[in-house]
Amino acid sequence: MAVGLAVASEGGERHNNGKITSFVILSCMMAAMGGVIFGYDIGISGLVASYFASSLTRAFGRKPSILVGGAAFLAGAALGGAAFNVYMLIFGRVLLGIGVGFANQSVPLYLSEMAPSRYRGAFSNGFQFCVGIGALSANIINYGTEKIKGGWGWRVSLALAAVPASILTVGALFLPETPNSLIQRGDSNEKAKSMLRRIRGTNDVEAEFEDLVKASAVSKTIDRPFRKITERRYRPQLVMAIAIPFFQQVTGINVIAFYAPILFRTIGLGESASLMSGVVTGIIGTGSTLISMLIVDKLGRRTLFIWGGVQMFVSQIMVGGIMGAKLGDHGGVSGGCAYLVIFLISVYVAGFGWSWGPLGWLVPSEIFPLEIRSAGQSITVAVSFFFTFIVAQTFLTMLCHFKSGIFFFFGAWVAIMSVFVYLLLPETKNVPIEQMDRVWREHWFWKGIVEDQYEACKKDDGGITTSSA
């Protein structure tokens, strides 16, 4: 049985004449700053904001949504840093969450649409790289502010979030809109083609432009994308929009992100040492994401997903075994075992950093056809926020009840998600974003679900289709 193999790249070859231009690099670097604010702060209000961000992104483009996200986060950081009562703190956190929701909805789409198909993985993984930088910055700042006497260090932590937010907000004013969005919103085709030539660095863009126009024609016939995405022909995309962010959260990574200092104190390290250990794992995670950027378009998404899953599974089982044998119900572990646990957690973080971390955002951003792209990304973000919230709220209770068994719990989920990828996720590397529907029609499982619907819709659309296969 051919499980999730890469599809032939005949249609994609026509799009591989684009170059990596300085224009697209600068644009994507600026947009990816949205990842920094996500890594710095995660708020439940982003769950709701992502829904409204979908409508804004579809109607007005990716750029305004990025701008709103940066501005909201900037306002939230300023309010939190200057807060003199709990109400200001709460409202500031709400604004931070809104900023994250808008940024997470629009930035991955922006990066996937701007990047050449051959390098889409590298550019899109820049989002997770910036998430890592944001989380690392927060850990370093927390380590520094913990030493401030007088109890006002938390103001510094909150206020410094304004730095990446300011960069994103100001930078968004100068960002170009993606050609996909320009065509979708009804701007002149010549303007969109001119932008496509500029970001690809070549005049030979007719094939890609033709696909964008066809995709836009289909998109303009859709009035209710959230209803449309529930149709049978979009079943694979809907499943991935829910399953991938769910699996990303039940890897247990946010257990490390939220509670690394608690975990390290549990195994016997002091408070400052625990915070520094969080900084070290942050550096490892960011470095491994950089590696992922360099290899994802060569090795493919499935390879990184599966081998990253193996790395995380093995390290989690070993950590659970060591802590179960050495920690017991009370007290710490010996120095040697404590450092072994830190090493294994670092191995786990590295595995996440080059697999489920970046790919959990990359794959959903590249699999949706234009007509449901904003809605699909909104679902991905909402699911991610929801399960981030659930894991964060239940972790301490789970830790008290499961003790070392919590690592076996998350390890089991890693095993399940690795099998899921092996069986149900086709390879998407080097496939032009507006031809992505063909990977489902050639997949051993999904083709039986989408093929009949595809042919029927092709007739209904009068021959209009987003595929050139």
Q: What is the pLDDT of residue 328?
A: 56
Beta-carbon contacts of residue 194 (< 8 Å; ≥ 6 apart): none
Segments in the chain below pLDDT 50? 1-11, 43-44, 463-469
User: Quick one: what percent of the chain has pLDDT higher than 90?
Assistant: 31
Judge whether 130 and 35 are in contact, CB under 8 Å. yes
Judge whether 397 and 81 are in contact, CB under 8 Å. no
Going from the N-terminus, what domains does the chain have, and what CATH number goes with each? 19-176 (1.20.1250.20), 225-445 (1.20.1250.20)
pLDDT tens for 417-463 read 999 999 999 999 999 988 898 999 999 999 989 876 656 555 555 54
Q: Directed axis angle between helix 235-249 and helix 253-266, to 10°?
A: 10
User: Which two tokens mark 259?
Assistant: 């509670």
Q: What is the pLDDT of residue 465?
A: 47
The string over 354-393, giving b where at least 16 C-beta atoms fall within 10 Å of a residue's C-beta and e elsewhere, is bbbbbbbbbbbbbbbbbbbbbbbbbbbbbbbbbbbbebbe
Number of residues that this document lists for the chain: 469
Q: Rounded to an integer, what is the distance from CA 205 to the centroid of its chain?
A: 28
Q: What is the pLDDT of residue 421?
A: 97
Distance (Å, rounded) from C-alpha 148 to C-alpha 142?
A: 10
Judge whether 138 and 40 are in contact, CB under 8 Å. yes
Q: Residue 66 burial by CB count (10 A; 0-12/13-18/19+): exposed, middle or buried?
A: buried
The string over 145-176, giving b where at least 16 C-beta atoms fall within 10 Å of a residue's C-beta and e elsewhere, is beeeeeeebbeebbbbbbbbbbbbbebbeebb
Q: What is the pLDDT of residue 330?
A: 53
The string of DSSP codes covering 188-223 is -HHHHHHHHHHHHTSS--HHHHHHHHHHHHHHTT-S
